[in-house]
């Protein structure tokens, strides 16, 4: 069943797409955009605001729960009843203020961001629509029940357990690799290989960041080549060059960080830490660690936030966690096979 859905009037979508835009700004080291989004989120989604209140209703129905049928139906009924009490005129006004701010200071392309769980958010938005027929409402609630009754797949693919290999076998492999490829690789290839080998230690975050930077660099170089005389005068070369640029752009979309991914949460925590909002930094660090408690960098970030807020017992706990994980990484961490110093 297809119904019209205006994503700009979906409070949860507006929030999530701003989180996506925030992670992009952090990765691009765009301080102005980052600061604008953080300030905007604090202003429009702080507790007691109508947008914050509306967001809680979306969260109540979009976050997966392994509920029995009666509880799930009761939850939907109660959320719909409470949400109907919101001042619709005030909600519309605040959404409009936020939309105008996004349009003026960011770009309308923000609304095209990939938002995980968008289909569920759209379904919830339509359920909140008072103008639905009985049939439409029942069918939409049936779709929503799938989320509440069935455990959602893990936010991350199961991580393979790192199996240590003996040092002699690894040394033989490194020597063989260097004999074959060590002198023939470009500097960029060695850097890429290094990031790939070491990506096991941070769930691929540094590799994603590096690849985004490289794609930006390559796109810039290739775009400049369109101005070369031999390219401008050759229609086939121009078209082929434009095709390569489009391919690079498609890769950039694949590499975007998802806001509900552990390292996206870590980046959000880092942003709050830089702004000295340690309460939010602690909150997002803890959310990330609930997904994977073995993230050393996030334990370190959480420990620093605890220190700044005077929670020294918390500092001690995170220091012990960092020490434990560092010792494990030192034991199993692979070394790059092309003589790269890290």
225 and 266, same domain (yes or no): no
- Please give the structure tokens belonging to residue 57: 């209703």
Provide, rounded to the nearest whole percent, the portion of the chain with pLDDT above 70.
71
Boundary-marking domain end, from 121, 149, 177: 149
One domain for residues 196 and 70: no
- Please tell me whether residues 243 and 266 are part of one structural domain: no
For 95, other C-beta atoms within 10 Å of its C-beta total: 20
Considering the entire predicted model, what is its pTM? 0.47
For residue 162, being part of any structural domain is answered with no
Q: For residues 11 and 135, state if they share a domain.
A: yes
Confidence of residue 163 (pLDDT cuts 50, 70, 90): low
Computed over its alpha carbons, how large is the radius of gyration of the chain? 24
The number of distinct structural domains making up the chain is 3
pLDDT value of position 29: 78
Q: Are residues 270 and 227 in the same domain?
A: no
Segments forming the whole domain that contains residue 328: 262-332
Q: Are 40 and 108 part of one and the same domain? A: yes
Q: What is the pLDDT of residues 18-64, one digit of tens each?
A: 988 887 787 677 889 988 998 998 899 988 899 999 999 988 888 75
Is there a single domain that holds both residue 205 and residue 106?
A: no
Asked if 142 and 23 sit in the same domain, the reply is yes
Is residue 136 domain-shared with residue 189, that is, in the same domain? Answer: no
**Burial degree of 311 (CB within 10 A; 0-12, 13-18, 19+):** middle
Distance between CA atoms of 86 and 323, rounded to whole angstroms?
Answer: 48
Angle (CA) 254-197-334 rounded to 5° is: 150
Is there a domain that residue 158 lies in?
no
- CB–CB of 13/115 below 8 Å? yes
User: Domain check: are 249 and 273 in the same one?
Assistant: no
User: What's 9's DSSP letter?
Assistant: G
| pLDDT-above-90 percentage for the chain | 13
154 belongs to a structural domain: no
Q: Is residue 340 in a domain?
A: no
| Within a domain: 338 | no
**Whether residue 67 sits in one domain with residue 24:** yes
């Amino acid at each position: 069943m297809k119904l019209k859905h205006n994503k700009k009037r979906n409070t949860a979508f507006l929030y999530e797409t701003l989180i996506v835009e925030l992670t992009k700004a952090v990765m691009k080291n765009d301080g102005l955009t980052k600061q604008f989004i953080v300030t905007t989120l604090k202003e429009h989604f702080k507790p007691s605001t109508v947008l914050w209140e509306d967001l809680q209703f979306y969260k109540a129905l979009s976050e997966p729960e392994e509920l029995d049928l009666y509880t799930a139906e009761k939850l939907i009924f109660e959320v719909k009843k409470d949400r109907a009490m919101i001042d619709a005129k005030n909600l519309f006004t605040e959404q409009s203020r936020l939309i105008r701010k996004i349009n003026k200071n960011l770009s309308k392309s923000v609304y095209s961001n990939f938002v995980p769980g968008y289909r569920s958010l759209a379904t919830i938005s339509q359920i909140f629509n008072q103008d639905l027929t009985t049939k439409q409402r029942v069918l939409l609630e049936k779709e929503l029940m799938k989320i509440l009754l069935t455990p959602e797949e893990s936010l991350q693919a199961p991580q393979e357990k790192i199996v240590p290999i003996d040092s002699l076998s690894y040394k033989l492999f490194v020597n063989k690799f260097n004999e074959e490829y060590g002198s023939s690789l470009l500097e960029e290839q060695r850097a890429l290989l290094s990031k790939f080998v070491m990506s096991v230690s941070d769930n691929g975050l540094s590799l994603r960041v590096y690849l985004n930077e490289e794609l930006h660099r390559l796109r810039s170089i290739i775009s400049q080549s369109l101005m070369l005389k031999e390219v401008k005068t050759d229609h086939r070369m121009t078209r082929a060059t434009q095709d390569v640029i489009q391919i690079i752009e498609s890769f950039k979309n694949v590499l975007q960080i998802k806001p509900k991914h552990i390292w996206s949460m870590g980046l959000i925590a880092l942003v709050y830490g830089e702004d000295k909002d340690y309460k939010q930094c602690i909150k997002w660090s803890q959310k990330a660690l609930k997904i994977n408690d073995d993230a050393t960098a996030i334990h370190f970030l959480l420990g620093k936030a605890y220190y700044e807020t005077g929670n020294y017992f918390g500092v001690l706990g995170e220091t012990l966690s960092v020490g434990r994980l560092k010792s494990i990484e030192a034991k199993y961490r692979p070394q790059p096979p092309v003589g790269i110093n890290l």
